[in-house]
Amino acid sequence: MQDIPKQISTRLWKRSGKIPRIVVDTNLFVSGLLNPYSGKPARLIDLLPLRRKRYQLLISRKTFEEYKAVINRFEQISRTKRKKLLGKIRAHSNWVSPKEKFAVIKDDPKDNKLLECAVAGKANFLISGDKHLLSLKEFQGVKIITIEEWFV
Please report, for the domain that includes residue 107, its CATH number: 3.40.50.1010
Residue 3: inside a domain: no
Residue 4: inside a domain: no
Q: How many separate domains does the chain show?
A: 1
**Per-residue pLDDT at 66:** 95
Q: Is the separation of the CB atoms in 67 and 95 below 8 Å?
A: no
Residue 2: inside a domain: no
Q: At what angle do helices 79-91 and 26-34 cross, to 10 degrees?
A: 140
Q: Is the separation of the CB atoms in 23 and 67 below 8 Å?
A: no
**Quick one: CA dihedral 126, 131, 132, 136, positive or negative?**
positive
- Length of the chain equals 152
A 10 A CB-CB count for 98 gives 19
The bridge status of strand 142-145 relative to strand 56-59 is unpaired
Q: Is the separation of the CB atoms in 95 and 56 below 8 Å?
A: no
| Stated pTM of the model | 0.86
Q: Is the separation of the CB atoms in 20 and 124 below 8 Å?
A: yes
SS3 call for 98: coil
Residue 74: inside a domain: yes
Residue 1: inside a domain: no
Q: Is the separation of the CB atoms in 10 and 4 below 8 Å?
A: yes
Tens digits of pLDDT across the chain (152 residues): 333 444 444 455 545 667 889 999 999 999 999 988 888 998 888 877 665 567 889 999 999 999 999 999 999 999 999 999 999 999 989 999 999 999 999 999 999 999 999 999 999 999 999 999 999 999 999 999 999 988 87
Query: What is the span of the domain harbouring residue 15?
Result: 10-150
